[in-house]
Amino acid sequence: GLGCVELTVALHFLYDTPEDRIVWDVGHQAYPHKILTGRKEAITTIKKTGGLAPFPKRGESEYDTFGVGHSSTSISAALGMALAAREQGSDRRVVAVIGDGGMTAGMAFEALNHGGDLDPNLLVILNENQMSISPNVGAITKMLGRLMSGPTVTGIRERSKQLMERDSRTWRFMSRWEEHVKGMVMPSTLFEELGFNYMGPIDGHDLPTLLRTIRTVQSVEGPNLLHIITAKGKGYAPAEKDPVAYHAVGPFNRAKGVEKKPAPAQPTYTAVFGEWLCDMAEQDHSLMAITPAMREGSGLVTFEKRFPDRYFDVGIAEQHSVTLAAGMACEGAHPVVAIYSTFLQRAYDQLIHDVAVQDLPVLFAIDRAGLVGSDGPTHAGSFDLSYLRCIPNLLLMAPADENECRQMLYTGFVHPGPAAVRYPRGTGPGVPVQARMEALPLGRGQRRREGRGVAILAFGSPLHDCLAVAETLDATVANMRFVKPLDTDLVRELAASHSLLVTVEENAVAGGAGSAVNEALADMGVAANLLNIGLPDRFVEHGSRSDCLADAGLDAAGILRQVRARMAAMGMTLVPGNDVAQGAG
């Protein structure tokens, strides 16, 4: 938020907020806004359990006019507010603040195109700080620079110099042509062609200029776009020097700066993926890696350095990333799309229409599946099992540990059709990762513990808490591994030999892996007592990941509590002395 301090002060000074609406894109830059709107004393609680939300949130403050977290939604939302105000006969003013990174998403231009046609009273402020999560060099300036320094224009320019020596009239013509090309791609021309009155660029840290310019814009009817230039982390040298390290940080000691956390004792799932990707690329030169602006978060930094020609960061363009992969697969390449679960939601049509319908070999490495903790519900991967398992042709896997993650990635990569591996944020249980890669037998789970009375079917990350619960209940535990195809033989066997089946997943219960088990039993005509445990039918708020799991009832204590409650309702008992579950009657 340091890059937006002056802008935030200017907006709250010149606009009658919250009556006037300010919509912040993504929300990472809204910390100064929170401080100025009554939350200064609580700002150190941001992202913490019970503290301030990491992004603007309507339920937190009347000044947070629109809830955000994902990129490039601000202009659409602000346009909707402006149109509603016009229909209501209100003179309420609406401002959208969006960064240049957000302008890499098509949705932003869809809104600009529509807004320019409708002629609302709307101000869009384009904050060009040359920084999305993965660095870029500024979307707008990059466009102009690339064109004017490219080989085509450079070649024509050099040729025109030669012509000038023969005929000065020709040189004058070529000079006018060059200026015309510049005009065609200048930001002013781009936005004015979309129907917006363009002003700028101006220094976003010059408060008097900001105030004067915004006052001028306020007097102009219709859609306006103000282009400002700011520096990420302005005024704090460590953040200016390393903007990536200071992106969306939690509280830290200002004198010491953000201190690097010690490396975890075991690798994160993200690191396991990054290492597998490099190993696989060494073996298979058809592998192409794609990410929508999440190089660091998805573990692709090393891959980009080692295989730059096979690395593609498409910007905040999830839809494009999936169809790009589909096109590669059509021509014999083997793409791997590294994407967060929450962002894959934005490319659902492309996943179905462009990949699954054509049965193309695209591997989706889905990070941040399940609860993500401090980033809250906008970034939680709560629904991927539900929205993926209904898609024909798709192989869907959930690893329970680090080594299984590596083997599943390989299994999905060598699969002849589309495949997805979903894994959580953070570290696993510490299972050693074997270098050798082996394809797992498709649709086959494994029994991990034998017990009686209760059988727990674990899908992915909850397995180890389920094993702890099973020690108390003397329950059977199965590591299901595959959500699609489901191991129906194992499900049938467990249903026949146990009084209660319990499914556990870090996904919404509705439509998830547990629902797949329910459907399979119904299709087989097998009657069974079932308990589906997963994320509740509500959005789990931000906090530490462990706090969020406890809140959802998905830690060991929560799982045990729910199983015991169902056992009691069924009349099942625990034999005193060894806590063995016994069926009723």
- The 10s digit of each residue's pLDDT in 502-537 is 999 999 999 999 999 999 999 999 999 999 999 999
Write down the CATH number for the domain with range 2-136+194-241. 3.40.50.970
Sign (positive or negative) of CA dihedral 429, 434, 436, 441: negative
What three-state secondary structure class fits 580? strand
318 is catalytic: yes
What three-state secondary structure class fits 287? strand
More confident residue, 144 or 359: 359
The dihedral region occupied by 233, where left means phi > 0, alpha psi between -120 and 50, and beta the remainder, is left
The dihedral region occupied by 141, where left means phi > 0, alpha psi between -120 and 50, and beta the remainder, is alpha
How many Cβ atoms sit within 10 Å of the Cβ of residue 183? 10
Of the residues 346, 389, 422, 484, only one is catalytic, namely 346
CATH fold of 269-422, please? Rossmann fold (3.40.50)
Residue pair 405/399 in contact by the 8 Å Cβ criterion: yes
For the stretch 428-471, pLDDT in tens is 999 999 999 999 999 999 999 999 999 999 999 999 999 999 99
Write down the CATH number for the domain with range 446-582. 3.40.50.920
Q: What is the DSSP letter of 196?
A: P
Q: If you average pLDDT over every residue of the chain, what do you get?
A: 88
Distance CA(353)–CA(356), nearest Å, equals 6
* CA-based nearest residue to 387, from 433, 430, 434, 420: 420
Taking each helix axis from N to C terminus, what angle separates 513-524 and 488-497, rounded to the nearest 10 degrees?
70
- pLDDT (average), residues 328-332: 98
Sign (positive or negative) of CA dihedral 240, 242, 246, 248: positive
Residue pair 419/395 in contact by the 8 Å Cβ criterion: yes
More confident residue, 231 or 400: 400
* CA-based nearest residue to 290, from 362, 356, 342: 362
346 is catalytic: yes
Of the residues 6, 128, 318, 506, only one is catalytic, namely 318
Task: Please say if the pLDDT value at position 333 is more than 90.
Answer: yes
Encoded amino acid at 127, one letter: N
Q: In what order do the strands lie in the sheet with 446-449?
A: 446-449, 476-479, 454-459, 500-508, 530-535
More confident residue, 302 or 106: 302
Look up the pTM and report it.
0.85
What three-state secondary structure class fits 483? strand
Q: Per the structure block, which two tokens stand in for 499? A: 């009084």
Task: Please say if the pLDDT value at position 153 is more than 80.
Answer: no
How many Cβ atoms sit within 10 Å of the Cβ of residue 564? 17
* CA-based nearest residue to 273, from 292, 289, 261, 293: 289
Distance CA(582)–CA(585), nearest Å, equals 9
Rg (CA), the chain: 27
What three-state secondary structure class fits 272? helix
Would you list the domain boundaries of the chain?
2-136+194-241, 269-422, 446-582
The residues facing 135 across adjacent strands are: 131
Task: Please say if the pLDDT value at position 170 is more than 70.
Answer: no
CATH topology match: 2-136+194-241 vs 446-582: yes
Structure confidence at residue 81 (pLDDT): 97
Which residues are CB-contacts of 37 (< 8 A; sequence separation ≥ 6)? 12, 17, 61, 63, 64
Of the residues 21, 34, 232, 389, only one is catalytic, namely 232
How many Cβ atoms sit within 10 Å of the Cβ of residue 14? 17
Structure confidence at residue 549 (pLDDT): 96
In 209-250, which ranges are E strands? 223-229
